[in-house]
Amino acid sequence: MEVGISLEKAKVLVSENIFTLSSESINLSDANGRILSKSLISKVNDPRFDNSAMDGWAVIKEDCNLNGETKLIIKGEIQAGTKNPPSIKSGEACKITTGAPIPDGANAIVIREDSRVEGNNVIIIGPARKSYIRIKGENLSLGTKAILEGTQMSASTISLAATMGYDEIEVYRKPTIGVISTGDELVMPNSKINDWQIYESNSFGIAALIEQMGGTPIRYGIVTDSINQLRETLDKASRECDAIITTGGVSMGDWDIVRKIMEKEGEIIFWKIKIRPGGPPIFGNWKNKPIFGLPGNPVSSHLVFSMIVCPWFSSIYGISENESPNLGKKVRVKLRNDVSGAQGKLCMRRIKITSEDEGLFATTHTHQGSGNIHSMVVHNGVTLLPPDIDGKKGEIIEAFWFN
């Protein structure tokens, strides 16, 4: 067991304790949020044929006067979906709608606003533009690898997959993650509550984060500070899930039962990371299943998930952290106020990041207690201040910007 390690070392250790996810074929209509296990190669050109980007007239560019008017004979009309559009020759034009195929002979489009109809003729008032023609394959060519393995499918990638001719795709099976909250003081929301109790919130937040990373959470409710109850719940979760996340009970107190049971009956790979907040997490194995013991304070559990559980998800998907679904990204921000660091630890103070013409700026609001989950709502990022370093107003520092 390693104790008090750096965040980077923790990320390496969790990435070494992974399992292989199988793939499954799903309908494209069920693909939102799923992780692609096989890259998608376009089955078609996009566009599939030359077509008009505007409503107007398909013409021969050389027929049209740059200055003045041009009279052309109306040959016909082409709409989107027209199977056999007529061809044109010099002196002729076809009325055309957006998305309609370009007729043979035409090489430019005149928009409707730059024309008027006189009987069987159209009078072209402005120049014809080749740029109003969408060229076959200009967006995507047949055979292009367009959506890469490891992509978390979204509205845009699902639309692109359909455009390329896919109605089914190969995705990774969703990993199931058991979520266990510990503590005698916890009660479920909307339950009768005593003065010494608090509403349990961690399992709801952690479950949402798991879903954002492409997993399926299974919540096992609240475990009181009972070793026997915790053992039973851990055993059940290890049988039913791919991995386990607990919250609370990982520090040095007499009632920190997750740490105690892991020391005696589990395998601890590391305990404590040199970060603030979120310093005392445990990572190891329970009955050959990876287990993350997150701190009980809600801010700490959220941040530790973001910093070490997200990279672990990347590893089980077999892709780099930068390419995987994630909860945010590293950025450089300019501080609008002083921010204190932490002695000997990477310091993650909550900040509000705004994008302005001059770049990204960061300010802090509310107090920074690790139990203040409201601070995660009014802020949208955290500082990444190196150990023993304070952030001064006007300095540019590294930060983590949540999605």
The count of residues in the chain is 403
Which pLDDT score, from 0 to 100, does residue 107 have? 96
Same domain, 278 and 342: no
CA dist 186 and 278 (Å) reads: 20
Same domain, 382 and 244: no
Q: Provide the token pair at 282.
A: 């445990």
Q: How far is CA 246 from CA 6, 150, 223, in A?
A: 21, 27, 10
Q: Provide the token pair at 289.
A: 């299943």
Residue 321 lies in a domain: no
Residue 153 lies in a domain: yes
Task: Give me the number of domains the chain comprises.
Answer: 4
CB 314 within 8 A of CB 35: no
Same domain, 282 and 302: yes
Residue 323 lies in a domain: no
Same domain, 238 and 302: yes
Q: At what angle do helices 257-265 and 227-240 cross, to 10 degrees?
A: 70
Same domain, 104 and 203: no
Residue partners of 156: CB distance under 8 A and separation at least 6: none
Same domain, 77 and 35: no
Per-residue confidence in pLDDT tens, the chain, 403 aa = 899 999 999 999 999 999 989 999 999 999 999 999 999 999 999 999 999 999 999 999 999 987 789 999 999 999 999 999 999 999 999 999 999 999 999 999 999 999 999 999 999 997 888 889 999 999 999 999 999 999 999 999 999 999 999 999 999 999 999 999 999 999 999 999 999 999 999 999 999 999 999 999 999 999 998 999 999 999 999 999 999 999 998 987 777 899 999 999 999 999 999 999 998 999 999 999 999 999 999 999 999 999 999 999 999 998 887 777 778 899 999 999 999 999 999 999 999 999 999 999 999 987 788 888 888 889 999 999 999 999 999 999 999 999 8
Instruction: Choose the final residue of a domain: 316, 338, 360.
Output: 316
CA dist 233 and 235 (Å) reads: 5
E-only strand ranges, 235-278: 243-247, 267-273, 275-276
Q: Which domain holds residue 162?
A: 24-46+145-171
Same domain, 275 and 350: no
CATH of the domain at 35: 3.90.105.10
CA dist 247 and 249 (Å) reads: 7
CA dist 280 and 257 (Å) reads: 13
Which pLDDT score, from 0 to 100, does residue 403 have? 84
CB 171 within 8 A of CB 23: yes
CATH of the domain at 275: 3.40.980.10
Same domain, 274 and 387: no
Residue 268 lies in a domain: yes
Map residue 82 onto helix, strand or coil.
coil
Same domain, 180 and 311: yes
Which pLDDT score, from 0 to 100, does residue 372 have? 87
H-type alpha helices, 272-363: 298-304, 310-316
Which pLDDT score, from 0 to 100, does residue 127 have? 80
Residue 72 lies in a domain: yes
Q: Which of 123, 81, 128, 87 shows the shortest CA–CA distance to 100? A: 81
CATH of the domain at 130: 2.170.190.11
CA dist 186 and 253 (Å) reads: 17
Amino acid letter at 347?
Answer: C
Q: Which of 59, 198, 41 shows the shortest CA–CA distance to 115? A: 59
Pairing status of strand 51-52 against strand 108-111:
unpaired
Which pLDDT score, from 0 to 100, does residue 370 have? 86
Same domain, 167 and 30: yes
Other CB atoms within 10 Å distance of the CB of residue 340: 13
CATH of the domain at 385: 2.40.340.10
pTM of the prediction?
A: 0.86
Residue 202 lies in a domain: yes
Same domain, 298 and 209: yes
Residue partners of 33: CB distance under 8 A and separation at least 6: 152, 153, 154, 211, 214
Amino acid letter at 275?
Answer: I
Residue 160 lies in a domain: yes
Same domain, 61 and 126: yes
Residue 322 lies in a domain: no
Q: What is the DSSP string of 121-172?
A: EEEE-S--BGGGEEPTTSSB-TT-EEE-TTPBP-HHHHHHHHHTT-SEEEEE
